[in-house]
Structure 1
């Protein structure tokens, strides 16, 4: 199912809904998983925009990532997830849709707006769930967004490794490793074409994400 052909992509966080579901969200995770360990969340800024770039291994990933920060996160999410009741909820919990096969300009503009207004954004750089490879080859979309959104204050990108032991199933263990951020150097780089800068940043992110997955696998 493709994203609706509209001229504008919108999303919002409805406070009463988010915080009303908060205890049920925690209770669900406590019941379903044997243990969830998160390493490195103290690195995340208390204010200002940043990007979480996680490994995408399971549909549980966004639900678990909601634990890593003390305020709601915004999510760029595959348009096929916005069907029915689920779509009604996630759109009001900060998610917005993107057609992965044919990304619409409205979705990209909305992501830029979120970053430019200093909000944290979760982007899965693999573009979908990948279980066969440690990290799927990345496309430069995330890097392009961050480069275009940067103002006077650089936007850090935090690679995030997520590992389920033995696999995503009832009472398994989950390890989340938030790696040190990637910072985009501005001095001297603005003279490079955007395409070249995005490709360099994408290569750095791929290497850092591979390392984050390795570190997550070693978390007890």
Structure 2
């Protein structure tokens, strides 16, 4: 099937442009250098991300810098789903030109879905945080977006575990102290068989359960291998709201 034909498969992604790449690619080396002047960032398991073709990086979410770290330090450039609230003022313009995908979490967001599919069908990498919000990183809540995108595109899902980006007791927007060690651990990908239109709620639900089990297994293995702990819950009253339904949370299409 030609590239154009793939984009015309439902849901169509030929009617949205590929997210910007002119800052995402060239800024990664200098960004890595700058970040490593403050923190000791270690990437494990880089070999697990396929060198070519569409792929989904699905990560736990504990700190405010998880998204930038994923986009900057992953072996390949990543277009990460980022909550719409971040796309304000200069920061929003920067995120747009750095290729990040704006997500309206208050409702099913068809444009975000199509932009993700545009990236995957063009052979790029999408980053997603299935928990939907910062928290303890234990994957207690798991949105259906990663499963839906994998079912549509057939892209493998690579689990990611983040450690050190928020200290125990730290607020949702807190930063780790200078010279802290930040570990980004990629695990073995899980293949999802693409399903033709229409995809059912049941298919999305079953695939979501499989992905959560895979990510949870990777998280447990990473904790054991590194001897690291997650930061625990956010302080009382410092919640990071997670509206439903999120990306494609309503299911079939």
Which bracket does the TM-score occupy, shorter chain normalised?
0.7 to 0.9
- CA deviations 1:16-54 (Å, max 9, x no partner) are x741x3344123321221x22221111211110000001
Kept in 2: contact 1:48–1:119 (CA 8 A) = yes
The answer on 1:27 being equivalent to 2:33 is yes
Structure 2 counterpart of 1:105, from 110, 113, 138: 110
User: TM-score normalised to the size of structure 2?
Assistant: 0.72
The answer on 1:142 being equivalent to 2:132 is no
CA gap 1:174/1:103 in 2 versus in 1, 3 angstroms: same
Kindly tell me the number of residue pairs found equivalent between the two proteins. 203
Instruction: State how 1:156-171 maps to structure 2 within 5 Å.
Output: 156-164=156-164, 167=167, 168-170=175-177, 171=179
The answer on 1:214 being equivalent to 2:220 is yes
Aligned twin of 2:44: 39
Task: Name the SS of the counterpart of 1:206 in structure 2.
Answer: helix
C-alpha displacement at 1:193, in angstroms? 5.6
CA gap 1:146/1:23 in 2 versus in 1, 3 angstroms: closer
User: TM-score normalised to the size of structure 1?
Assistant: 0.81
Task: Name the SS of the counterpart of 2:81 in structure 1.
Answer: strand
Structure 2 counterpart of 1:173, from 181, 186, 197: 181
Aligned twin of 2:65: 60
Structure 2: gaps spanning 5 or more residues? 1-14, 168-174, 228-253
The answer on 1:74 being equivalent to 2:51 is no
CA gap 1:10/1:80 in 2 versus in 1, 3 angstroms: farther
CA gap 1:49/1:191 in 2 versus in 1, 3 angstroms: closer
Structure 1: gaps spanning 5 or more residues? 1-6
C-alpha displacement at 1:184, in angstroms? 1.4
C-alpha displacement at 1:179, in angstroms? 1.3
C-alpha displacement at 1:82, in angstroms? 0.6
- State the alpha-carbon separation in 2 of the partners of residues 146 and 158 from structure 1: 11
- CA deviations 1:58-87 (Å, max 9, x no partner) are 111122222121x42111111011111111
- State the alpha-carbon separation in 2 of the partners of residues 192 and 112 from structure 1: 16
C-alpha displacement at 1:105, in angstroms? 1.4
Task: Name the SS of the counterpart of 1:53 in structure 2.
Answer: strand
Aligned twin of 1:3: none
Aligned twin of 1:4: none
Kept in 1: contact 2:142–2:212 (CA 8 A) = yes
C-alpha displacement at 1:116, in angstroms? 1.5
- More off after superposition, 24-33 vs 45-54: 24-33
